[in-house]
Structure 1
């Protein structure tokens, strides 16, 4: 009986402690977060951290389409030797900054209904995609026909987020622009739905590399270099 009781207690501890440390405590800590004001003298910035709000409606589309199954939104600490900072991942568009930009912190997700860290990185990390994103037209093309952008792409085509219809009158200014090889039948066009528009605006709003108050400006808060 004693051995059985010890086994049960050990089993409960083996599952309970990780659940407590990895889920409950971080959730409680996240609920207590509030925006932090920058100190202009120490940080060289004004306003509050984090300063870049996301597009909430587009985030719901991102979730419903399962984008977080293949894309992460978290830069891991460079000390782990896993990622650090790569070209185009933030405001600094150089090949690789001399001082690695910071890893993601809990407050980066403040104000978001869901913190979409992701579960695997099949596609590129999107934590700071807003800095390196192409023009809106190119994003629509990528969503509608990924292989028209990269023939090796494994990303699914989100054609259901577009209205494919016969052209009535002048072509739509928002129609997806496709190369000849991937063009729709003559006389037809694909235009983004409200969901596609919201998703694109969400992707453009992803900018989670602003300096953390009190930790030094690891990333210059200036317009992205092109």
Structure 2
């Protein structure tokens, strides 16, 4: 054929074929994939501070031990309310025209999955303590300390974020422990990691290998609710409360208050205790304790689960106060919407 003897025609034909194939094999599918995997409604792009925090997360090698993918297996239910879908990662865009960005899904879990860490741990104080010394909040943690993300100052400026580290974990430090800009950015990024609720009308993906309906109906004996079947108060406490208030209920001096011997827990009237779980609490900030987030609301705890947690706290570590019923909890939660709410009275 003449085309093989004419290098101009040959290279022109090869170039046109290459461009045609590039469109059909790469560009076309990329546009289709982008349109089919739009970000979920309610998801938000990272702010500038959170983007800086993601860079710190990468630089410190956090992805080596922490994943950001809730797999479709029963054992992953503790990390999120549903398995991840492609749309969960659709909001991850290029850092700039020169740099791509990583999804940070990870492949190993030496530490827990962080997909929903912003919901599980919404408070700043816990994150700063965990970064400065992981053993201060999780005694069995193997995570290294990231002390270099904090500054030691004799005096703190008004805008400084002072971390209240218990004396047992200060390692002889006498000054103020202040979070650096990198630490604040990293915490902002971690708090942004939250699973978004699927749009209304969309079925929530079910975890594989789940319990049968009969097994779920049987349930485990609740240690907190005092009924034959129902939520396990001890397990719920471990999931939602233990990281701050500790397994022994003694909290951390200077960081998180104790529940053992607490006046709130020992009060026969459970209104304040339930209110704190559902709406958070900042009444002891002046004593150096951080503000407690609304754990019950953030984690979508049902009245049955709140009752189980309350009763576990009321019957553990030497506490022995009046148990609450699910109906009691429902009435207290219902009162939040009334003008003369418990919070207003307090």
TM-score band w.r.t. shorter chain:
0.5 to 0.7
More helix by share: 2
For the pair 1:225 / 2:296, whether they are aligned, the reply is: no
Shift of 1:150: 2.1
The structure 2 residue matched to 1:205, chosen from 192, 207, 212, is 192
Q: How many residues align?
A: 173
For the pair 1:189 / 2:264, whether they are aligned, the reply is: no
Tell me the secondary structure at the aligned position of residue 142 of structure 1. helix
Tell me the secondary structure at the aligned position of residue 163 of structure 2. coil
Shift of 1:185: 3.5
Q: Which residue of 2 aligns with 1:62?
A: 57
Higher relative contact order (CA 8 A, sep 6+): 1
Q: Which residue of 1 aligns with 2:34?
A: 33
Shift of 1:147: 1.2
Q: Which residue of 1 aligns with 2:132?
A: 144
**Whole-angstrom distance in 1 between the partners of 2:195 and 2:76:** 14
RMSD between aligned residues: 3.2
Tell me the secondary structure at the aligned position of residue 163 of structure 1. strand
For 1:170-189, list aligned pairs within 5 A. Answer: 174-183=161-170, 185=172, 187-189=174-176
**Whole-angstrom distance in 1 between the partners of 2:76 and 2:171:** 41
For the pair 1:115 / 2:115, whether they are aligned, the reply is: no
2:68/2:105 contact within 8 Å kept: yes
Q: Which residue of 2 aligns with 1:103?
A: 83
Tell me the secondary structure at the aligned position of residue 178 of structure 1. coil
Give 1 or 2 for the bigger CA radius of gyration.
2
**Whole-angstrom distance in 2 between the partners of 1:30 and 1:204:** 31
Alpha-carbon spacing, 1:119–1:147, altered in 2? closer, same or farther (3 Å): same
Alpha-carbon spacing, 1:102–1:225, altered in 2? closer, same or farther (3 Å): closer
Alpha-carbon spacing, 1:184–1:30, altered in 2? closer, same or farther (3 Å): farther
**Whole-angstrom distance in 2 between the partners of 1:31 and 1:57:** 30
1:33/1:107 contact within 8 Å kept: no
Q: Which residue of 2 aligns with 1:77?
A: 72
**Whole-angstrom distance in 2 between the partners of 1:69 and 1:123:** 9
1:127/1:208 contact within 8 Å kept: yes
**Whole-angstrom distance in 2 between the partners of 1:169 and 1:126:** 31
Residues 19-46 of structure 1 show CA distances to partners (whole Å, capped at 9, x for unaligned) of: xxxxx99xx6599425748xxxxxxxxx
**What stretches of structure 1 of length at least 5 have no aligned partner?**
1-23, 38-47, 91-100
